[in-house]
Structure 1
Amino acid sequence: MKKHPQLSDKLKLLYKLRVNSDYRTHADLARGIGISKQSISKWIHGSSTTLGDRIPHCQVGPISKIFSIELLWWTYSLEDFEQEVSKKITRDEESRYTKPDDVSVSFLPITNAQVLGRDKELVVLDQAWQSSQVNVLQLLGFGGVGKSTLVNAWLAHLSKSNYLGAKRVYAWSFYWQGSSSDIKPSGDFFIENALTWFGDLHPLEGTSWAKAGRLVKLIRDSRTLLILDGLEPLQHPPGKKAGQIDNPAVAFLVKELAFENPGLCLITSRIGVADLLSFENGRVRTKYVDCLSSESSILMLRTMGIVGCAEDFSKVTKNHSGHALSLSLLAGYLTVVHRGSISKYRELSSLLDDQSQGDHARSLMQAYLDWFTGSTECELLYLIGMFDRGVSLLDLKLLCVSVTIDGLTAELSSYTDAQWLYAIKLLCDSRIINQKFHNGSSVLDCHPLVRDFLAEKLSRDLPEIWRQGNHIIFTFLQNSAVDNPKTMSELEPLFRAVIYGTRAGCYEEAFDVYFNKIKSRQFSMSAEGNHHADQACIKAFFTVGWLKVNPLISEEAEHYLLSCAAANLIYLGEIKDAIGPSKKSIAWFESKGMWLDALGSAAPLISMLVAAGEIRDAITLISGLEDCVNNAENLVVKAMALNFSAYTNHLNGNGRRAKKLFEKSDETILRLDPGVTVNFPTVSSYYCKFLLDTGNNKAALERALQTLAWRKQKTWQVSVDTTSLLASDLLVLGLSFLHCGDYPNAKVNLDKQVDLFRSADEWLYLPSGLNARATYYIKVENYPRAEADLKEALEISQRTGARFGQWESYLNFSHLYLAKSDRPSARRFLAKAMSLKGMSDYKFRDHEIGRLRDSLSQI
């Protein structure tokens, strides 16, 4: 029998793992103990007088001391030897790490401390954290399989080792969002909270994009473990945009960390993050968390106190497909109702073997409700489930005493503190809700699958409780909102309130909150708003697609909502969906003699048609609105009609007419007092762009600076403002500085307008912003940045179907490659620009295209 089996492999393992970095070869080891390299070879292979795989007795001690291992380990099998060495390395690493500077994991959902059957996943987590190559790790799996539990268990393991070198550990969970909920969680709220925690002095300042940029820098400042749990509420569901993060700031954060990250960003979600596909080259790793094996499922049930025969355990785990949440709920039910007897599972109908979240837990949840029916605990469960996220015990008590609702708050309203605590404990013991403490306050919550089921149950079987419950939360959220909200975190209670109002059937009241408090009676979002949050509100009023509004809404409110929906869809780049509601609202407003509202609905549509490459349709629409403009009898409206007509004429190549119309329009816009009520936004960027395109750079800069002065002075010209207008004004200001040779100011303003377009999800107009900044980068010969902006602009334009953005990008790509002396690529992109359908009608760049062709025709 060999005394030190597989000695060669053991030594190679020690060298490979750098157990002692000074010893990496047999030669290093031989020098260290004062023998020849050939002697080590004899230990391994043997000789005519000695056996192989045997270290001389006098050398075992010195060699073991060099590698700080036990003498006995040499006698182990290679597998056991490797296991002991790995444990030693882990112990050595753990002992040398100091505590992190700060840790925040309280936002993670409460889960069981013990995790079973996840050894492989835990190894992947350890490897990702210790790897210098992996920047982002995605844990993907069906809702309720135990992703959050796995993360919590891993963090508990890391905490024992001072988080293995992490300087900061920050966790945030979006998990409260159920899949069927209409309410979008706020990625901007997360960004602001994270900035505060990481020490940013002004977390509310700047656009969402700028905030995300600052957060990236703070995270990169040290080795940080960032955990984004339950990201799916911020992602698009399966479909064309499946997995894309719809919050641009969070998308930017994740992509930047995927590109460069000294630490690790850990994401859990039900679907993969599409924004990370281009980084799947080692920098981003994906691990799928499957359902538990039969053995692990049985072990989980037994550790939760369930008892019975092996056959019953086997049948139960098979029926429940190893779904961790279902098993946990089952164990809670059996514990409370049947003293933990597995045999009683037969009294439940089988869970549907279906991958939809509500169906997966429906039978089991119904059994819970049957058990609690008629009890105060059932009221409490309903009330907690009606909230879209965790709710404080104090708020629940206040709601219960404010309104008495049979079956929801009636019994709870008279409860003593002790009775509240008992009811909460019973629900927690049955694992249908969880409780945590935040800043000393008790917060109650339930899993999204539970919440989705309760919403379905209440709305279908107990509609009056559903209606009244939503109504009290509608009122509660309105009362919790601040006056004149500006930031997304301040607007969020109102966004949520609108959803609850519609669920309560209070459509007119919800519309009042939406149109007057959130939108300030404008069809477009203000400069503080967010178009995705806006869309969530608008959707709550629609029953089918974007054309049919709930019949309980008044006819006037219906068409205001159609117009709001159209403007929202336009800004988000959903061009095809926007046309129907836009035309329907314009026609109705005209039929009712509501001329200003008709024009307010038409303006975004005209801009969209221009961006979509339909300049002829835009000109036709403007012409068809002449009677509407005249009937409005408003000087500012007439000026803007001239402005739009001038711009489309300019794009169509009719420069002389455009000049006359712009100058006539500006006669009104430059007045100190227009003499009429101003309830229509003015547009300065079109005229400035015309001046730049026609070579009047100095005049363009003066006019752009004039608009900037109006904003600072808050004059009538900017009394009605939108994100798009502000960003567009900064765009032309940046280009004006660029053409006048002031590169620093050009860069500042071009960066600002891109950030602003991004922060407000202005996907239709962001490509123009990126193209504008790309021209700056081409001018200063920063070709990599120019190419990056043009690639993004082209990608967005192709996704939205905005041919104008594609055309601009192709032309600017041609300029870029010409500047880089890559004529074949320049010709290829020019050819693409010229072949785009409908773009031959955009003649304002014909001279530029002619010069480009001449340059490319030269040898």
Structure 2
Amino acid sequence: MTTNPKDNAQKNGLTIENLSIFGGKQQFADTIVNCPNQPEPELIPEVDIDHLPQSTTPLIGRKIELTQLTEAFTHPSKRLAILVAAGGIGKSALTDEWLQQIAERNYYGKTYIFGWSFYSQGSHTTFTNSQPFFSAVLPFLGMSEIPKDEIEKARLLARCLQQKPCLLILDGLEPLQYPENLQNMSGELQDSALKEFIACFRRTASNSFLLLSSRQPLVELNKWHSEHYLSLPLETLPHDDGALLLEQLGVTGNTAERQAISKDLNGHALSLVLMGHLLSEHHQGDFHYARELPPLTSAHGSSDAEKDSRHALRVLDYYDSLQDETSRYFLQLLGLFDRPMSHSEKTVLIKQAQHAELLRALTEKQWQIVQKRLEKNGLLLGRKGKFKRLEWDTHPIIRSYFGQKFKENHPSAFRQAHLTLFEYYQKVPEKKYPDTLEKMAPLYQAVVHGCLAKQYRQAFQLYWRRICRNGGKNGNNVYYSLYKLGAYSNDLKSLAEFFPFGWEVPDKNLIEDEQAEILATCSFCLMSLGRFQEAITPRKTCLSMHYNVRDWLELSSDSQNLVDLYLPIGNLEQANSAMQQGFRYSLLSKDIRQQMINKSYLGTVLHRKGKLTDAYVCFQEARKLQRKRGYDELYSLSGFWHCSLLLDTVIDEYDLKKIIVLKTKQSNELKTATPLNDLAYNLLTIASAYLALNEMSHAGDAFKQAVQQIQKSNMIHCIPPFYLLRANFYLISDQLDLAKADLETVLEIIECYSMHLYAVDYLLIHGRYCLDINDHDAALENYEEAKNLIQETGYHLRDAEQDLLAAMICQQRETIAGKDSNVYLQKTKKRIEEIGQWGLLRVIERDFPEQ
């Protein structure tokens, strides 16, 4: 809810209308400003916390936690707090009470208060995202122009919080985190935009404060200094407090008897609230009936993370056995959603869903009775504000429980209800083909409900034709939502519903072509969101499907796409294997273009593995194939990779100048038609060649243009080489502040996307930067980390540069592992000679002139 300054004026006996006695609005403002004895008016903060969940449990105890939150919020060096607890422990109740307390102090000077909950999104889908959050918070903070790129949205929000003192509450992060049982990624954010926002917020000073809550710790906070944030794990209620809570809910018995109930429910707040309401409604609060609670079984789940919230399912089992059918069926309809049920959704379900037959006969008065009873029992959240109820919602655990019961006990009616929503949402947009994300939202919802209705083929056709705009009169594939709107998260969220068991196998009701298309699109969306590791599985499944029908052309393309995933994460062995097989597929396809591209891909993999002679042969073969197609030289990404190899292997000035002439000519010829990233790669090649020639002015101009060009493309996974090579240029030209800025920028991208290959490049360049600022210990740490990562990834192109960094460190530290600078320098030269990396001799001549 947004605070209205007009309401505040009315509380003080003033309205905007009666300000005319001061001579009108402007004169009144001037009067206040010019009156020397007038106290400065208190700023009225803008507040929107309607997106936060309503508390289903009254707050009992937690005084220490409330104090700790306020102390962190008002501490000059604290910028973040996180509440960690299982579902139903009372995170929402604590947050709600704390917000009420600080509201009485006018939020301690914060001018914007915004809250958002992610948890409710995660009930049905295997994928959820932060896109709706950014679409809501940025306009709230006054941003009228919102970028399409999700990473840019994250950075814009971080900049906003720098400029405006804000309290931002992000509730229920767990759907955006990798699960705790996932090795090496437990608790890490899988949402790229939110991950980027946390990183930017950490490194940019501001007067804003972030309150997070989740069911599991947040890995990204490991990078924060402990003095800058508060981690507040919430335990279950002490049994004294549990007994007090039951007493407040009308449960009889003495303290020890109520404590026994609390012990049985392990002090789980939501379970206690439900039990208290149950005993009060059905047994006049008699504590003896708590003994009828069914035992905890495997049917209530087995997750250690949710061991306490399983008690709520026991109580709900008990509750459901006593529930009247009208209330039960209404709660089961709520379980159809991963969000609150809107008025329009309720209307169409009551009218058309088979499961709503009992509800159709209710009068308005009877409806009110049902709703009030459910509210009183803690099974339905109360309405917001004083106006007519516009949505119906409950705690996610309760919603999930009744949704599962609906699906298990009435499978046919469950599917028919979702079918009703599927048909309804297809008709909501005014245009058949909406042209904005906001107007397309009902179609995304329709896809989700269509899948839950098991109408997979119809849902796919809706996605394919009206969201992607594919398969038109000419059979063209436009991919409107992806290429025009950049809606990777939105598409992925709806496509997730086609995968009942993760990203590996789509539903078998789809024909093979549809399955393959969904797999390929999901992999592309995951890659575009920087989730390379997850994108591998659907891409490999897609490859298997194309192999079954011997579609050699698609198999060749699939192999390239796999390499696009393997390279950034530094899995060079898998990339090499995929590309060797991919070239064989391209030969079978007899498609010269695919053969040329695959040879270039194989060449760049071999180049990075340090096999420069083999890589050179591959690129020469790719050039021959390109000439068969009527082109003189390789261009686009293949051309960039080829020139990168040349820059590593040639040292003659004439050859370097030839590279500049070639790429300048290609840029001029393709300037109007070439994709933005093609032009960016040409500029980066030209800049690197100028740097090799020591023509620093020309190099600087070209690097600047290259970075600007790649930024326009919004292809975030292509960006690291641009910042890394420019940072290297700045380092060589002794522009340390600019080098530092580029290194910091690229590090955030590398960490956000887990790009281990580029992490090696970063460590080697940053190690030299550390030497330039006389931080020898940090330089040594960079060297050791790079050495380990090279072995882990197989990125042996950097072996010589690793030894060269060691030689530079030894010039200032005497030895590393008992070896001096000269030993490492000789190792470098030997490696250069072994693989033909002659371009690195230019670096030795520059940094070791006496050698």
- TM (norm. structure 2) is 0.74
Q: How does 1:563-602 map to 2 (within 5 A)?
A: 563-564=520-521, 567=524, 582=539, 585-586=542-543, 588-589=545-546, 592=549, 594-602=551-559
Which of 203, 211, 217 matches 1:266?
211
Q: Which residue pairs with 2:514 in the alignment?
A: 557
2: distance between equivalents of 1:252 and 1:834? 26
- Correspondent of 1:381 among 331, 341, 348: 331
Conserved 8 A contact 1:390-1:443: yes
Judge which range, 194-203 or 242-251, deviates more.
Answer: 242-251
The answer for the alignment partner of 1:366 in structure 2 is 317
Judging changes above 3 Å, is the alpha-carbon distance between structure 1 residues 292 and 766 closer, same or farther for their aligned structure 2 residues? farther
**Aligned residue for 2:637?**
685
Which of 116, 132, 139 lines up with 1:189 in the alignment? 132
Name the CA shift for 1:749/1:553 in 2 (closer, same or farther; >3 Å): same
The correspondence of residues 20-99 of structure 1 with structure 2, limited to 5 A, is: 98-99=42-43
SS in 1 for 2:508: coil
Q: Does 1:336 align with 2:336?
A: no
Where does residue 257 of structure 1 map in the other structure?
Answer: 201
Give the letter aligned to residue 450 of structure 1: I
* Structure 2: gaps (5+ residues): 1-38, 471-476, 648-655, 691-696, 799-831
**1:475 corresponds to which of 415, 418, 423:** 423
| Cα distance in 2 for residues equivalent to 1:163 and 1:575 | 41
Amino acid at match of 1:125: L
For 1:502, give the aligned amino acid: C
1:771 alignment partner, one of 709, 724, 741: 724
Q: How far apart, in 2, do the equivalents of 1:540 and 1:173 lie?
A: 21
Q: Which amino acid aligns with 2:157?
A: L
Query: C-alpha deviations, 1:623-681, integer Å up to 9, x for none?
Result: 30234432x6xx8657655765676687655547636745864886989xxxxxxxxxx
Q: 2: CA distance between counterparts of 1:749 and 1:440?
A: 56
**One-letter amino acid matched to 2:135:** E
Q: In structure 2, which of residues 247, 257, 260 is the aligned counterpart of residue 302 of structure 1?
A: 247
Identity of paired residues, percent? 21
Provide closer, same or farther for how the CA distance between residues 636 and 518 of structure 1 changes in structure 2, counting only shifts above 3 A: farther
Q: Does 1:453 align with 2:401?
A: yes
Helix, strand or coil for the counterpart of 1:322? coil
Matched, 1:230 2:172: yes
Given residue 805 of structure 1, which amino acid in structure 2 is its aligned partner?
Y
Aligned mate of 1:399, from 320, 338, 349? 349
Counterpart in the other structure of 2:372:
425
Measured after TM superposition, the shift of residue 252 of structure 1 is 2.3
Task: Using the TM superposition, give the Cα deviation of residue 466 of structure 1 relative to its aligned residue in structure 2, in angstroms.
Answer: 2.2
Query: Partners of 1:666 and 1:137 in 2: how far apart?
Result: 61
Match in the other structure for 2:71: 127
Q: In the alignment, is the contact (CA less than 8 A) between 2:586 and 2:595 conserved in 1?
A: no
- Superposition deviation, residue 120 in structure 1: 0.4
Q: Are 1:805 and 2:750 an aligned pair?
A: no
Deviations 1:100-150 (CA, angstroms, capped at 9, x unpaired):
331112222122695220110110111012110100011111111111111
What displacement does 1:604 show? 0.3
Q: 1:217 aligns with which of 125, 145, 159?
A: 159
2:742 maps to 1:783: no
**Which one-letter code corresponds to 1:686 in the other structure?**
S
What is aligned with 1:79? Answer: none
CA distance in 2: counterparts of 1:109 and 1:514, whole angstroms:
31
Task: Output the amino acid matched with 1:510.
Answer: A
* Bigger Cα displacement from structure 2, 770-779 vs 137-146: 770-779
- After TM superposition, list the pairs within 5 Å mapping 1:279-298 onto structure 2: 279-298=224-243
Q: Deviation at 1:320?
A: 1.6
Paired amino acid for 1:174: F
1:166-186: CA deviation from partner (whole Å, max 9, x where unpaired): 2221112223234x5325443
Determine helix, strand or coil for the equivalent of 1:241: coil
CA distance in 1, matches of 2:319, 2:343: 22
1:179-198 deviations in Å (ceiling 9; x for gaps): x5325443122112111001
Where do 1:595-744 residues align within 5 Å?
A: 595-611=552-568, 612-614=571-573, 616-617=576-577, 619-630=579-590, 640=597, 644=601, 652-653=612-613, 654-655=615-616, 658=619, 661-662=622-623, 665=626, 684-691=636-643, 694=647, 695=656, 696-697=659-660, 699-701=662-664, 703-704=666-667, 709-710=672-673, 730=680, 733=683, 736=686, 741=698, 743=700
Indicate if the aligned counterparts of 1:647 and 1:687 stay in contact, CA closer than 8 A. no
Q: Is the 8 A contact 1:646 1:659 kept in 2?
A: no
In the alignment, the residues of structure 2 paired with residue 669 and residue 440 of structure 1 have an alpha-carbon distance, to the nearest angstrom, of 70
Listed one character per residue, the Cα deviations across residues 42-84 of structure 1 (whole Å, up to 9, x for unaligned) are: xxxxxxxxxxxxxxxxxxxxxxxxxxxxxxxxxxxxxxxxxxx
Whole-Å Cα distance in 2 between the matches of residues 101 and 786 of structure 1?
36
1:227 match: secondary structure: strand
Distance 1:229 1:447 in 2: 13
Q: Distance in 2 between matches of 1:418 and 1:736?
A: 76
For 1:217, give the aligned amino acid: R
Alpha carbons of structure 1 residues 373 and 416: separation in structure 2 relative to 1, 3 Å:
closer
| Contact 1:291–1:324 (CA under 8 A) maintained in structure 2 | yes
Larger radius of gyration: 1
Once the two structures are superposed, residues 309-345 of structure 1 have per-residue CA deviations (whole angstroms, 9 ceiling, x without a partner) of 4343122111122211112222222333234333332
For residues 670-711 of structure 1, give each alpha carbon's deviation from its aligned partner in whole angstroms, at most 9, with x where no partner exists.
89xxxxxxxxxx982332453465442354355356666326
Structure 2 residue identity aligned to 1:398: V
- Residue 176 of structure 2 aligns to which amino acid in structure 1? L
> Which stretch of structure 1 is more off in the superposition, 601-610 or 226-235?
601-610
2: distance between equivalents of 1:340 and 1:562? 54
CA distance in 2 between partners of 1:118 and 1:821 (Å): 49
CA distance in 1, matches of 2:464, 2:517: 9
Query: What SS does the aligned partner of 1:105 have?
Result: strand
Secondary structure of the corresponding residue to residue 109 of structure 1: coil
Summarize the Cα distance change of 1:590–1:277 in structure 2 as closer, same or farther, 3 Å threshold.
closer
The alignment covers a number of residue pairs equal to 726
Give, in whole Å, the separation in 2 of the partners of 1:757 and 1:374. 53
What is the letter of the counterpart of residue 192 of structure 2?
P
Distance 1:485 1:621, change over 3 A: farther
SS of equivalent residue, structure 2 residue 559: helix
Give distance in 1, aligned partners of 2:190 and 2:786.
Answer: 32
Q: Shift of the alpha carbon at 1:465?
A: 2.3
Distance apart, 1:236 and its partner CA: 1.6
Contact kept in structure 2, 1:735 and 1:746, CA below 8 Å: no
Task: Go from structure 1 to structure 2 and tell me whether the alpha carbon gap of 1:433 and 1:317 turns closer, same or farther (over 3 Å shift).
Answer: same
Structure-2 change in CA distance of 1:636 and 1:414 (3 Å): farther
CA distance in 1, matches of 2:520, 2:252: 61
Contact 1:501 1:510 in 2 (8 A): yes
Q: Is the 8 A contact 2:59 2:97 kept in 1?
A: yes
- Mapped partners of 1:170, 1:479: distance in 2: 33
In structure 2, the residue corresponding to 1:106 is in which secondary structure? strand
TM-score (norm 1): 0.74
Change (3 A) 1:577 1:237: closer
Matched, 1:849 2:840: yes
Aligned partner of 2:145 in structure 1 is 202
Distance 2:460 2:552 in 1: 22
Deviations 1:281-335 (A, max 9, x none): 2101111122222222222222233344434312211112221111222222233
**Cα separation, 2, equivalents of 1:357 and 1:475:** 39
User: Hey, what's the Cα distance between the residues in 2 that align with 1:137 and 1:565?
Assistant: 34
Contact 2:186/2:219, CA 8 A, preserved across alignment: yes
Q: CA deviation at 1:751?
A: 6.2
Name the SS for the 1:195 alignment partner: helix
Question: How far is the alpha carbon of 1:818 from its aligned partner?
Answer: 6.9
CA contact (8 A) 2:528 2:715 kept: no
Query: Alpha carbons of 1:287 and 1:646: their partners in 2 closer, same or farther (altered >3 Å)?
Result: closer
Deviation at 1:164, TM superposition (A): 2.2
| Matched residue type, 2:124 | S
Aligned residues of 1:306 and 1:342 also touching (Cα < 8 A): yes
The SS at the match of 1:741 is helix
